[in-house]
Amino acid sequence: MVLGIVLVAGSGLYIQNNSGREPDPCEQALNKAASFMTGGDAASARNQTMMAMAACNGEAQTKARHMLAVADKAIAARAACERSVRQIGSMIVDRRLTSARNAIDQLGSTCVDGAVGSDLRGQINVGLASAASADAEARNFLAMGDLKSAREALDKVVASNREFSGLTALRQELQTALRTQERPPQPTVVSSSPSVSQSVPPVTKPHHVAPLPPVSPPAVNVQSEMAQGFLRDAEAALRQMKFDTAKTYVESALRVDPKNSQANVLSRRIRERELQYLNEETSIK
C-alpha cells in the first residue's frame, strides 16, 4: 500500500512538472493509472499502466513498470480475499463456525475490515453464542432428568455449530443418561436365614401367597425414539441439500441405536443424493 502511494505521488509529480506542454499518451496513461489506483480500482489502473508501458520511454517507463507491479499485487490480493470470503461464507452456511472463525482471523485487515467482513464476524459470533446457550440448556435438562428436552437442546447445538467443542462430551452424557434410564431396577434380595431369637415363635399355618404379575416392559423405548428423531432431522436436512448436517444426524442416530437399520439405509441415500448433486453441478459448469 505504501509503495502504491509513493508511486501515485511520483506519477502526480511527474505529470505536474510536465503540465506546461500538451500531454502526450504516456502522460495521459500515467495520470489515469494514478487516479484509478487512488480510487482502489487496480484492474483499470493495470490497463492504463500497460498503455503507459507502450507509450513511455526512460524514467516514465520505469515508473509505469513499478505501477504495473503494484496493480498486479493488488489484484492478486483482492482475488485471494474474495476467494477466502466465499469459503468462510460456505463454512457459515454449513455451520462449521469454529473453522470459519479461525479462517477469518487469519485474513488481513484490508480484506475483512469492510462491511462484508463485519457481517461475516457478526454471523459467526451469533452462531457461537447460540451453540453455547443451547449447550447450557442441554446440561441443565440432563441434571433435571428431562432427556427429551436435553435431546432437543442438543439438536440446537448441532444446528448452530457442528464443530462446538463440547458436542462430543454432551452426546456421551446424553447416551449415558439414556442407558441408565432404560436399565431395569435391581431386585431387592431378602435373606432367607431365620433371625436368632431367644424365644421360639409359635408355629402358624402358612398362608397362600398369590404370585406377583410379571412386570411389563416400558411402553416406549427411549433410545429408539431418540434415534427416530435424529433420522427425521436427517431427512429434513437432506431435503434442504444440507448433506453434512444430514450425515451428522444419522451418526447421532447410530450412536443412540447402533442396530437401527433405517439409519444405514438413509446414510446410503444421502451419499447417493450428494453424488448426484455434485455431478449435476459439474455438468452445469
pTM above 0.85, yes or no: no
Spell out the per-residue pLDDT of the chain, length 285, in tens: 434 444 444 555 444 555 556 668 888 888 888 888 888 888 888 898 899 888 888 898 889 889 889 888 888 888 888 888 889 999 999 999 999 999 988 887 778 777 888 888 899 999 999 999 999 999 999 988 898 899 899 999 999 999 999 888 998 988 888 888 766 555 555 555 544 444 445 555 554 444 444 444 443 466 777 778 888 888 888 888 888 788 888 888 888 788 888 888 898 898 888 778 777 765 555
Q: Max CA-CA distance within the chain?
A: 137
With beta carbons less than 8 A apart as the criterion, state whether 127 and 161 touch.
yes
Cβ–Cβ contacts within 10 Å for residue 200, how many?
6
Q: Classify residue 193 by its DSSP letter.
A: S
